[in-house]
Chain A
């Protein structure tokens, strides 16, 4: 069955370190997204991609970057982790037929 997986599920890192969160989907969707979830804010869009080599900034992109070298993967990099980036991160993929599919999330703690 097709799926979307995120790794790691939990991560603790120190302020200032570079961190990369992985997202891998086997739906063959062109569209992929990264959201962060914070209490009282719902999900907010960080970055998105509509295909290989395409990346775009979302609502809360400062301090984050993504790259898309193939259809399956959209890794999210925190260039220099800050405490304000402690959050739960969700990856999603979509197409016009099926809509959105979400991963199970990565809980990131920056200490």
Chain B
């Protein structure tokens, strides 16, 4: 069965510092991988996705993620964090980008210090 782990429940960084959020997955075939962001009281917004091709993918809001098959990882990075990036971040894995077989990780809450 597919699964997603996000080892860090809560991360605090200073504004302007770099950020890396970890995501590890278990999946039997080549996965579709996603990162979503959830601001307080809001739904989930897609940051970026990986299906195939270049293993470094660029997303919105200056985020990027790297797919590493050998490590079953899809870590999210940002070189310089802004206060508005404070939110909950979810990694997800699926067999495609639209079906019922999405599995979400438990989420990582990001706090940003001024």
Contact = CB atoms under 8 A, between A and B. Distances in A.
B100 A90 contact: no
A43 B44 CA distance: 10
Interface stretch (B53-61, B75-83, B102-110): B102-110
Q: What does DSSP make chain A's interface, helix, strand, loop or mixed?
A: strand
A33 B104 CA distance: 14
Contact of B100 (A42, A48, A102, A104): A48
A58 B46 contact: no
A104 B106 contact: no
A79 interface: no
A51 interface: no
Contact of A96 (B4, B97, B106): B97
A59 B44 CA distance: 20
A57 to B, nearest CB: 10
A94 interface: yes
Interface residues of B, number: 21
B90 A43 contact: yes
Contacts of A94: 97-99
Interface in B30-61: 34, 41-46, 49
Interface of A: 31, 33, 35, 40-45, 48, 50, 56, 58, 90, 94-96, 99-100, 102-105
B20 interface: no
Contact of B106 (A33, A41, A48, A99): A41
7 contacts: A45-B102, A48-B100, A58-B100, A96-B98, A99-B46, A100-B102, A105-B41
Contacts of A90: 43-44
